[in-house]
Structures are given as C-alpha cells and as structure tokens.
Structure 1
Amino acid sequence: MSANEFSDRVRGPRMDLTTALSNDDDVLVVGLVAADDDGESDPSLLLVEDFLDDDAAEGIARALRAVGATGGTGEVTRIPAPESLPVDAVLSVGVGAASRLDDPDTVRQAAGTALRALDGSARVVTTLSAAGIGPAAEGAYLGAYRFDEMRSAKSRSTKQPPATVLLAVAAANKGTKNKQARADLDRAVIVAESVAMARDFVNTPPNVLSPAEFADRARILGSAAGLSVEILDDAELEKAGYGGIIGVGKGSSRKPRLVRLTHEAKGAQQRVALVGKGITFDTGGISIKPAAGMENMTSDMGGAAAVIAAAVAAARLDVPVTVTATVPMAENMPSATAQRPGDVLTQYGGTTVEVLNTDAEGRLVLADAIVRALEDEPDYLIDTATLTGAQMVALGTRTPGVLGTDDFRDRVATISQEVGENGWPMPMPSELRSDLDSRVADIANVTNHRWGGMLSAAVFLREFVSDDVQWAHIDVAGPAFNTGSPWGYTAKGGTGVPVRTIVAVLEDIAGTD
C-alpha cells in the first residue's frame, strides 16, 4: 500500500486513544512476561492491573498456562476471551524476561509481532502501551504495515491488517501525564509514517520507480510537508560537473536526477546535511552482478529513501535544526553507453576517480552529493547507503555499520542502539587509504583486494568530507532490506532502516547544541 493508504488505515491510535474496552473490539492484546530463570514463578501478564479486574486477569493467565504459553520473546498465543470481557479473543505476545522491559524496543517488537498476527481483525486494543505508549504505537504501526500497491484486488483482500488499533491508557494518567502521552503518541505516529514512507519507496519495483519517478515522488511528499525542493535533471547535472552521478547513470535510458529537500527551521543554531544513495536498480553495470539475488537490488536506493523520509519527519516534527537532504538518483545498467572499468571520472568539485569496478557505483554518486551538501556549510553530515556486501560479512543483516569522525560516529551508533536499529561503530584504518591509490587518477573507487570492504568504502568517502564537519556514514546494505521472514515490527522487504536513527540524531542535536 502507499504511505498515504497506510496512514489512513492505522490512524486509529492517534484519534481513538481510549481507557476502556468496547463491545466492538475484536481482540485484546496483552504482553506475557516469561518466568524467572530459577523457575519459581509462572509467566505473568504485563501491566494489566489498570485495565482488567483480578478475575479477568487470572482467567486469562490460567488459560494461557493451560495451553503452554511461556512468554518467550515473540511467542504469540490466541485464546478465547473470558466471558466477562467484551472481546472475542485475547492474544498474548511474549516479551521475554522482565529485565528486558527496560528496553523500549522490547515493547516495539511485541506490538509489531502482535499486529502481524492479526490480519482480518476489525479492531484491536492493546495494553502494551502501559509499558510505553510511543514504542507501542511505533511497533503497532510498523507491524501493521503491508505493501500491496502491486497486488490485485483479490490478492489484496487477504492481507488486510486491523482497521483500528487502540492503545489503552490508565484512567489515572490525567493532566500532565496525559499531555505527555499524547505528545509521545503524536511523535510515534509521525516517525512510523516516515518509516512506512521509506519502506514504500524501497518496495516499489524498479520498473515503476525510475530516477525521474523517484524524484517526482520525493517532490510531492517534500512539498506536502513544507520542505523546499530542488531537482536537477541529467542535462543540469552534466553542465554542473556531477561526474559521478552522470557516469553511473549513463548506461541507462532512464536518466539520473539530484534532489535537494530543505527543512529551514526558524532560529536554528545548527545545520545538518543528509545524503542518501539512490540507485533505483543496480545490475553492477559492466561489472555485472550474478543473476542469483539480483532482484534484491530494487533496494539499492534504501539510503535515499531513508533520508527523504527523515527530512519529511524533521519538518513534520518541526525539529529546530536546519536539515537539507541531498539525494542522488540513478540506475546502474550495462549498455553501449555505460561507463567501463578503467574509465576516469571527474567528480563534482574536481577530484578524479579511476573506476576499477562499475559495481562500486554507490560511492561515486555519494561523493558528488557529499561535496554539494558541504557547500551549505553544515555542522554535521550524515550519509547512509546500501553500500557494501562487506557490511553483511562483518555485521550480519540486522546491524548497520557506523563510521566517520570518532565522536559523532559513536554518538550516532549509541542513539541507533537506543532506538532499536542497533548501529555499531566501526574503524577506518589509515593504511587502507594507500590501497585506493590509482595509477592514473587522484583515487580509485575500490581496493585491489577484498579485505575490509566496508571500511575502505568509508575511507573513499572521507576523501570528499571536509575536516571541519562532524560526519557519520551508515552502511545499511543488509538492514535496509529483509530478505528473510518477518520478525517483530520488521516486514519482509524494505525495513525503513535507518530513518528512526536519523530522526533521533536530529532531535539529539537540537536538544544538546
């Protein structure tokens, strides 16, 4: 479904905040905490005392024990509701050990897991919100996410998530507490909608999402959020000297674009530049990829999707920093006009690059965009990309690699872990720079060996980053696209990583600088 359809479907938590169950509710979702390791306690319901009387709570707990529910992380158990409750069924979702409840992502994952299990339900009310209304809302929204834009009406009808999701809030939470809950909920809705926007971009097939179409959709969404928008077409890019973007895109009949989206905050003291790789499909070019798995290269614009969505979120949240997203978009195809291994490109700003491998194209478009972004004299620069297979070799498919200037790299990685996207700081060893020396140009786009590929890609990008800016590079080659089974609030396909990290970093900059 489109981002707008997604928003319309699951806007319920924002509009229908409730403190009571209704006769119209189909399913009550509760958390189930696992027994202690010593085995001296049974699994227990999570924070239901403000919503259920003792008899109803005990009836649910007893029924769950009878069917063997353990409260293990991600375990889903559905039982008939006690007669005293005006719902058809109760669904418990395991949250694991009680010690995990200090992590808000535990609630997000539980809410997402529950919503993935509830296709076909009309209305759902959950008490998971008692452990954190923001995480519960985010998890529920993202668990309810479906991309069905390409499905026929018949197929689409079998994949419908609940029409309304109600987040229970204790009646005692009035006044200041209720205002804070409302603020947390509103923020969570905006962030989740932005993640869904990025997922929609990534999941849109490449025959539909050409660079021109991608740019047009970014323009529409950015303008609707109040962002100023600038788009350069291929003729303008060539005239201005964007050699990396032109070089990568010249093999395709669908020409490249550069999109700039700006959130100009009143009185902002800090400027943040965002850059995201927007390769709408990556065959590898002349250095063509193997056929197996190439269909997943529809995700190679995941970085661009994330920074567009984060810029939209910054505007909607009115984050008091000025944010500009610079987004290069191209399609990397083999043809008679494609760049060749051995070509030398002149990047925007004048640096020359010997192209040893046309499948290392992301760093070429990023380099152009980074130099342009730095002309705005930002205090911080965050770039993100599905850049290297080496990221997955080093960190797996769920852990982004974060590189850059030491202090800001660590700050971004810490925030990423706090929001549940789990970025991990990585080094840029100085000895890797000499491996990028070129025979004929200022620098080569790859090393002559396969070791430390994620690190050497960042070393390449560092050549285009000025020393006076705090910089973080987030490699999301695996985390941006889930090729496995859904889990928690993460769907199969586009995940929206690292939208939540970027938004939280922007808020952190606004709050501390």
Structure 2
Amino acid sequence: MSSPTLAVTDSDPVGLTADALIIGTVQGTDGVTPAPGSDSIDAAFPGGLAALLTVVGATGRADEVVKIPTQGRITAPLLIAVGLGKAEQDGGLTAEQVRRASGAAARALGDDVAQVASTLSTIDLAAAAQGTALGAYRFDQYKSSDEGRALNSVTFVRTSEQTGDGTATLTAAAAIAKAVNSARDLVNTPPNDLFPESFAQRTADLLRGTDVDFEVLDEKDLAKDGYGGILGVGAGSSRPPRLLRLRYKGPKAAKKVALVGKGVTFDSGGISLKPAADMHHMTSDMAGAAAVVAVVVLAAELGYPLEITATVPLVENLPSGTAYRPGDVLTMFGGKTVEVLNTDAEGRLILADAITRAAEDEPDYLIETSTLTGAQVVALGKRTAGIMGSDAFRDRVATLARATGEGGWAMPLPEELRGDLDSKLADLANITGHRWGGMLAAGIFLREFVAEGLEWVHIDIAGPSYNDKGAWGYTPKGGTGVPVRTIAAVLADIAEQG
C-alpha cells in the first residue's frame, strides 16, 4: 500500500470535506475531555463533546478509538475520537502521545475511508503527520486477495497560533515515515526472497535517483580482502555473503559519520542450532542493515550536510557440511583472530569485519545497530534498545532515541567482562561462556574492533526491531523500523551541533 498524500489547512474542521474527522481525547480524573483543536466541533454537538464521549464509553486512554456518526452536525459523516492518555503535570501533551494516537487512528480506519482530516495536528503537526503515515503502513504483498486500506489523503488542521512552514514540516515527516516503512518492508520480506544478493539488489533499487555511490563486494572480493568473519558465518549457505558500501556526501559536509548495520538475512544459529520455536522470527535478523540502508536514502533525500558511509555485511547463517564450526578460529578483516565457541553468536563476527573497515575511513562518529543479543530483551524488554559505546556519544544517542519515541537506554561496558572473552587459541573468543551480562559482553566484543579515539555507539535492537505481538499506536505487527528515526535524529543533531 502506498503512503497517503498529506496536506495542511487552517480551515475550520467542522466544514472540511472528508470521510472521517479525527479528534483527540484526554484521560482525566474527572472523565474524558476533548483535546485541543476541538472547540468548533464541540460547539456543533448539543451538550458538547465531553457528554457525547462519556455516553459512548470513551475514557481517553492511550490507543482507544471510538467512532461516532456525526448525523450532519459537521461535514464529515464520521467522527473518530482517539485517546492520548493522561496529560503531563503542566497540562501539556507530548509529541509521542500525538504520534501514537495518530497511528492508532490510522490503523482503525475502515476500507471505505479514503479521505481523512485530523485536528491532532493542532497539538503537534510533525508528530501527527509522522504517526499517521506510520500507522497507515500495511505489508500485504504476499496476500492473494487485496486487503489494503483505501486511505489516500489526510488533511491536517493548524491553528492561527501555529507558525512555521507547514508544508515543509509535512515533507520532512513524510520522508522519515517513508524511510521507516522501507526498513519495515525489508524486515517483513521472507528469507526465501530476501538473501544477501537480493538484499543488495533491493538496496540498489532504493538508491536509484539519489546521489549515493554504491559498491557490492561478493564472496571473491571478500576472500581477496580478508573478511574472515563474514566469510566464516556465510559459509554454510548456498547463497554467498555480500558486503555493501554506500557513500553519500551532502552539501557543505563538515562531519564524517560511519554507519554499520547487521544483515543476517536468516539466522538458524548455524551448527549451534536455535530451538525450533519462534525461529521464523529470525527473518528479522537483518533489521540493523535495513535501518542503515533506509537512513542513507533518507539523508540523501533531505540533503543532510554530512559525509555518510554505510558498511553493511549480509549473510545467511545456516548449518551444512560447509558451515563454520564451534572451535574454529577466524581471522577477521584487519588481522585479529577470534575463536568461535558458539556459531549462534554470529552477528558480532560479521560486524567486527564491518566496523574495522568502516573505521578505515576515519569518520568523526561511528553508529552501529544490530539485533545482537537475546540478553537485550531479558535486560530491557522488547521496546527499549540497549545503547553502548563511548560515554558522551552513548548518552547523546540515548537521549535522542527517547525524544523520537523509539526509546533507548544507556548501558555500561564493564571492564571486568573483557577477561571473560579471552581465548587460549586466539586474540579473543566470540562469547564469554556464561550467561551473565550477555548484552554488555557483546558490546565489549565489538569495542575490540573500534579504532582508538573514535566516538562510537552500538544500538542493540534485538527486541524493539520486531513486534511479535499485537499492533499498538503507530507500531504494526512485524518489522517496526526501529532505529531509523533514532539514527536520523542523531545525524540531524551532528549536522547542527557537530
């Protein structure tokens, strides 16, 4: 399904031509109240909206959607009241509340709703637009029948007090949502159609028409240049590995940023085979790669004044007679050696190659993201990414992650765990041999391949990148597109602050 067309207006929402009009509701101690932007609509209903909403059982809680026939009292035949949850202590509403409510409303639209107007934009235009575009996302290309929604246009209402270029705000919001949805599409594509070679081709398709240089290293190139981690992990599959290199140089670029994303297009665990239950979720083990590719396309589309280089390793991790084994020692790109104790700790091996190569470009910052450890889910749950790296940059990224609504929490890299990665045969082992601090140990492993003095961050998205439960807010079931918005916000912050 294509994204709806977005427009902005300062007209009274009562008279807007639309199949449905979206308003917000707020959960209060004394019951539900209409959100800002609803004054003229409130006046159109006898007794006011609060009384009507109470009668139909609305509470204003987050994600609640109530549909009310308007019976000609406003031009739109249907009123959709969506809950924002409780207001802040100062009475304000956050961007994430608006974003989430807009997404919930978009998900709840019926097939007969083609044109929608929204007053949530009177609170925050960018958040309302982004939430709507994200909530309207559907992945249905493998369905034999057309189950897509009919939504094709959304008009956002602004008040006279709201300043700034509304059209520019919508353009930026739509571009970010498009990038998130591109990452979602890649994550949701099944592994029989998305493997290293086809991922490279899809990347080329996404880059068509942009100013991004693109290079693909095949298995012969990888062997020639000594990418032992990528070749080792990919050895068990009949579909050989790839390494993608994307280069974008924006206007007046003052800073260089390296992006790295893990691209295991399917992870069986290799010879250290995963349990069968939920193994199908491992089609999402390339979410880091998807996010990085989507962000580079976004940066080129919006003209970020940065020099960005993305290094994206792509493999399938499968068991076979040619697969790498527990006990093998791999020589990584750059010369370090790693003893493999578990073939299911494969992501860090391909990332080690990619990080070492990315550092050769001498960037000012390195941002790496990956579905790296089940320990991330144990520690932080399925919605909060673990963020590790050099202290100042780590904290900066974590703060921006929370501001975007994607969420993230700064985590340490305790020095005492480094000794647990020692190997009797090689420079280090790929796991510690115990279960404690697994997310942190993986971060420490990656740190071994980061150039000295480089500001870097590792974002573990094992849980947040894939939603295996019911949809909520603007987040669908399946690929979520995390952490596209976080990385985009970090790049924008670097462009502005350095």
1:172 Cα shift?
6.0
- Give the 3-state SS of the residue equivalent to 1:25 in structure 2: coil
1:328-352 alpha-carbon deviations (Å, 9 max, x no partner): 0010000000000000111000000
Amino acid at match of 1:115: A
Query: Given the alignment, which residue of 413, 436, 451 partners 2:398?
Result: 413
1:217 Cα shift?
0.8
- Report whether the alignment pairs 1:162 with 2:145: no
Partner residue, 1:30: 23
Amino acid at match of 1:84: R
Cα distance in structure 1, aligned partners of 2:288 and 2:46? 45
Partner residue, 1:509: 494
Do the aligned partners of 2:37 and 2:123 also contact (CA within 8 Å) in 1? no
Partner residue, 2:328: 343
Partner residue, 2:134: 142
Partner residue, 1:125: 117
* Structure 1 vs Structure 2 CA RMSD: 1.6
- Give the 3-state SS of the residue equivalent to 1:34 in structure 2: strand
1:109 Cα shift?
0.3
1:361 Cα shift?
0.3
Do the aligned partners of 1:363 and 1:445 also contact (CA within 8 Å) in 2? yes
Query: Given the alignment, which residue of 105, 110, 113 partners 1:114?
Result: 105
Query: Mean alpha-carbon deviation: is it higher for 309-318 or for 356-365?
Result: 309-318
Q: Percent identity?
A: 53
- Report whether the alignment pairs 1:195 with 2:188: no
Query: Given the alignment, which residue of 22, 36, 45 partners 2:34?
Result: 45
- Give the 3-state SS of the residue equivalent to 1:285 in structure 2: coil
Cα distance in structure 1, aligned partners of 2:496 and 2:334? 33
- Report whether the alignment pairs 1:500 with 2:485: yes
1:120-146 alpha-carbon deviations (Å, 9 max, x no partner): 111111100111111101100110000
- Report whether the alignment pairs 1:309 with 2:309: no
Q: Note closer, same or farther for the CA distance 1:395–1:135 as it changes in structure 2 (3 Å cut).
A: same
1:71-98 alpha-carbon deviations (Å, 9 max, x no partner): 1111111111152211111110111122
1:184 Cα shift?
1.8
Partner residue, 2:278: 293
Cα distance in structure 2, aligned partners of 1:124 and 1:343? 59
Query: Given the alignment, which residue of 81, 84, 98 partners 1:95?
Result: 84
Amino acid at match of 1:441: A
Q: Note closer, same or farther for the CA distance 1:270–1:57 as it changes in structure 2 (3 Å cut).
A: farther
Amino acid at match of 2:98: V
Amino acid at match of 2:20: V
TM-score (norm 1): 0.93
TM-score (norm 2): 0.96
Partner residue, 2:6: 13
Amino acid at match of 1:129: S
- Report whether the alignment pairs 1:227 with 2:212: yes
Q: Note closer, same or farther for the CA distance 1:58–1:254 as it changes in structure 2 (3 Å cut).
A: farther
Amino acid at match of 1:61: A
Q: Note closer, same or farther for the CA distance 1:67–1:102 as it changes in structure 2 (3 Å cut).
A: closer
Partner residue, 2:417: 432
Partner residue, 2:343: 358
Partner residue, 1:423: 408
* Bigger fraction of residues in helix: 1
1:56 Cα shift?
3.9
Do the aligned partners of 2:251 and 2:304 also contact (CA within 8 Å) in 1? no
Query: Given the alignment, which residue of 35, 38, 57 partners 1:68?
Result: 57
Do the aligned partners of 1:141 and 1:192 also contact (CA within 8 Å) in 2? yes
Query: Given the alignment, which residue of 466, 469, 489 partners 1:481?
Result: 466
- Give the 3-state SS of the residue equivalent to 2:6 in structure 1: helix
- Give the 3-state SS of the residue equivalent to 1:32 in structure 2: strand
Partner residue, 1:403: 388
Cα distance in structure 1, aligned partners of 2:301 and 2:437? 39
Cα distance in structure 2, aligned partners of 1:57 and 1:272? 58
Cα distance in structure 2, aligned partners of 1:510 and 1:382? 14
1:430-466 alpha-carbon deviations (Å, 9 max, x no partner): 0111100011001100011011100000000000001
1:26-80 alpha-carbon deviations (Å, 9 max, x no partner): 1111000112x3x3xx422112256536234854333211112111111111111
Alignment of 1:184-333 (within 5 A): 184-333=169-318
Q: Note closer, same or farther for the CA distance 1:254–1:101 as it changes in structure 2 (3 Å cut).
A: farther
Do the aligned partners of 1:249 and 1:331 also contact (CA within 8 Å) in 2? yes
Cα distance in structure 1, aligned partners of 2:438 and 2:106? 38
Do the aligned partners of 2:16 and 2:117 also contact (CA within 8 Å) in 1? no
1:171-221 alpha-carbon deviations (Å, 9 max, x no partner): 565xxx242x22221111110000000000000000000100001111221
Cα distance in structure 2, aligned partners of 1:51 and 1:171? 14
Do the aligned partners of 1:60 and 1:82 also contact (CA within 8 Å) in 2? no
Do the aligned partners of 2:38 and 2:119 also contact (CA within 8 Å) in 1? no
Do the aligned partners of 2:99 and 2:131 also contact (CA within 8 Å) in 1? yes
Cα distance in structure 2, aligned partners of 1:405 and 1:172? 42
Cα distance in structure 2, aligned partners of 1:423 and 1:385? 13
Do the aligned partners of 2:42 and 2:48 also contact (CA within 8 Å) in 1? no
**Shift >6 Å, 4+ stretches:** none
Partner residue, 1:443: 428
Amino acid at match of 1:122: A
Extract unaligned runs of 5+ from structure 1.
Answer: none
